[in-house]
Chain A
Amino acid sequence: MPVAEGAGRLDAFEFPPLAENNAVGQAGQALWTRVNDQLGDSVRNSVFWTATILLNRAQMQLAALASLKSNWDTYGASAPNQVALDNGVRLLEHMTPIELSVLNIVPSAEGGVGFCFAVGNRYADIESSNEGDILGVKYVGTDMPVLIETDGSDASIEAALEQVRTHISA
């Protein structure tokens, strides 16, 4: 029973594989409930499984943005292009469950993808723009935002996310 190359590609599947149930019969419902309960129990105390599922959900949110068309907001905004999406994938690869658990991924009205983090009144946003820039801000409540800069390198992305991590877990 071979496993084909590509079967485990990041964009190739949703994890866990048993995510939806279209069965309405008692046996199908019972099986789905049982498997989900068991899976929930397995995931609950594990940082690794939690991170895997959070990352997968974030990847799916990001992948959903690829289908947006220009003028998606009816105010003429550009859809996120491949540059913004590819940099988005790089950002996700550097995230830990600390950020992933409070992450919301949204299209940007300026063209690109926004990664928004919020814990209480502490906020941070990192934007991956259609021009290839990766820049962010962090702020508390209505305070003046503080700029988070990157030069696009992996090291600077990691440093930016470290700032986010420290800010939201303070």
Chain B
Amino acid sequence: MPHYENAPITEALIDIRADLAPEVRYEDLQAFRQHFAPDYPREETRSVGEALLQFGAAVHASAKQTPLGLAFWNSSNNQVVQVRLDGFTFSRLHPYEDFEHLRDEARRLWNIYREVVRSRKVTRVAVRYINQFNIPITPGTSIEPEDYFYTFPQVSKNLPTEMRYFGPYLMSLRLFQHDLKGILVLNQAMTPPSLPETISIVLDFDLYIENPPVTNEQQLWAVFDRLRERKNLYFEACITDKARELIR
């Protein structure tokens, strides 16, 4: 894969789901604080929440939340490790370094995780790269997604012309990886722009394998290398030369 000076990777992550010893409880995750604090001093509770907005004489929001796990951030706010009762995720945010840094730090943290929660079996592994393309646009004009992407939502040409100008969208495809016995989740979405006079389109590759056939750590980490190679192939297959110009 060519090296891109302005790689669009806004988040790269390695995700491992595992069966833990049955006696492990949510409260036990607090033990990670002492292990991670030197490098990841900021702690956040991750929750599955449902926000509810109420309109009226007074406007206020309330939220019903269930704790899911803990996230620990480094002091530069560009690396995050999440620990949950169903697994572990390590994320590298912008600016991305390279896969070797991602993998090595994930492996170091995973070793702590599996020791502390006594993981018994890896049930799912994933490599995920979320790319954010900021496509310049002149006010009052439009862009054609097919100029930048080979994978994008198609709208019927039989619809009225004025309907061809479309707005926010989210496309999610699940593509089977027969040889890997895994699945590629390809998400593409327009998100709020991070730069003025741009349109932001996110291309998200989430490759995972359920119940990977691994019996030791060496095999486990070899799977991630393979998933990463595959991700590179898919990325290159989905973008056009015009998109490459944006990130060179």
A residues contacting B by CB (< 8 A) are 1-10, 12-18, 35, 38-40, 42, 44-50, 52, 55-57, 59-61, 64-65, 67-68, 72-74, 96-98, 101, 104-107, 119, 165-166, 169
Interface bits B198-242 vs A (CB < 8 Å: 1, else 0):
111100101000000000000000000000000000000000000
If A5-B140, A48-B11 touch, does A57 touch B93 (CB 8 Å cutoff)?
no
B142 within 8 A of A: yes
Cβ-neighbour of B59 out of A14, A40, A106 (below 8 A): A106
Judge whether B168 and A98 touch: CB under 8 Å: no
Total inter-chain residue pairs, C-beta < 8 Å: 162
User: For B139, what are the chain A residues with a Cβ–Cβ distance below 8 Å?
Assistant: 5-6
In Å, the complex CA distance between A122 and B159 comes to 55
The answer to whether B89 touches A45, judged by C-beta atoms less than 8 angstroms apart, is yes
Assess A47 versus B80: contact at CB under 8 Å? Given A2-B143, A72-B58, A98-B44.
yes
Cβ–Cβ contact A8 & B191, under 8 A: yes
**Complex contact A52–B191 (CB within 8 A):** yes
**How far is it, in angstroms, between the C-alpha of A6 and the C-alpha of B68 when the chains are bound?**
36
Which residues of chain A are within 8 angstroms of B141 by Cβ–Cβ distance?
A: 5
Q: Which of A1, A14, A169 contacts B154 (CB 8 A)?
A: A1
CB-based contact A8/B91 at 8 Å: no
Contact check, B77 vs A96: say whether CB atoms are below 8 A apart.
yes
A117 to chain B, nearest CB (A): 12
**A13-B168, A16-B170 provided; 9 other pairs, C-beta below 8 A?**
A1-B154, A2-B144, A38-B174, A45-B13, A49-B204, A59-B192, A72-B58, A106-B59, A106-B60
A113: min CB distance to chain B, Å: 10
Which chain B residues in 62-76 approach chain A with CB under 8 Å? 68, 71, 73
Q: Which residues of A contact B82 (CB under 8 A)?
A: 45
| Residue B153 CB within 8 A of the other chain | yes
Query: In chain A, what residue has the closest Cβ to B130?
Result: A48
Interface size class of B (residues with CB under 8 A): 35 or more
Indicate if the CB atoms of A15 and B168 lie closer than 8 Å.
Answer: yes
28 contacts between A and B (CB under 8 A): A2-B142, A2-B165, A3-B144, A3-B201, A4-B142, A6-B139, A7-B190, A9-B193, A10-B192, A14-B168, A15-B170, A17-B170, A40-B48, A45-B13, A45-B89, A45-B128, A47-B11, A48-B10, A49-B130, A50-B46, A52-B191, A55-B192, A61-B53, A74-B57, A98-B73, A104-B61, A105-B61, A107-B59
Complex Cα–Cα for A52 and B193 (A): 10
Q: Of A6, A8, A73, which one neighbours B200 at CB under 8 angstroms?
A: A8
Partner of A104, one of B11, B60, B166: B60
Contact A165 B165 (CB under 8 A): no
Are A45 and B15 in touch, CB under 8 angstroms? yes
How far is B141's CA from A3's CA once the two chains are assembled, in angstroms? 9
A105 to chain B, nearest CB (A): 7
Q: Closest chain B residue to A50 by CB distance?
A: B46
Q: Which residue of A lies closest to B155 (CB)?
A: A1
The smallest beta-carbon distance between A104 and chain B, in angstroms, is 6
Contact A10 B93 (CB under 8 A): no
